Amino acid sequence: MSIMVKVEEKLYQNRYIVDENHPHIRIKSEAECKTCETQACTFCCPAACYSKNEAGTVTLATDGCLECGTCRVICQDKENIQWDYPRGGYGISYKFG
């Protein structure tokens, strides 16, 4: 069974209140990502916020973030992710949860 999955189509159904220019998650060091063999954030994040880029590092776009914390747990050996909750009222706003 092989099915192409566009996570964007899933995220499109969600309600977000985007905090422009205030990303709540930050990659601390791009160089550190380069040394990461698996870059597991790129296939573990349920919103696909992390993607491998041509420079061999990881690009992060937090707009679709579901605030689960998986990347925080995954990257703790490298400690390369600065993870906070969005400011009050911003971010994912579940209608059903």
Rule CB under 8 A: which residues touch other proteins? 1, 3, 5, 7, 10-11, 13-14, 17, 38, 40, 43-48, 66-70, 72-74, 76, 83-89, 91-97
Closer to other proteins by CB, 30 or 92: give it: 92
**Min separation Cβ 32 and other proteins, Å:** 17
Specify burial of residue 76 (Cβ count, 10 A radius: 0-12, 13-18, 19+). exposed
Residues 41, 75: contact at Cβ < 8 Å?
A: yes
Closer to other proteins by CB, 30 or 72: give it: 72
* DSSP code of residue 22: -
* DSSP code of residue 89: T
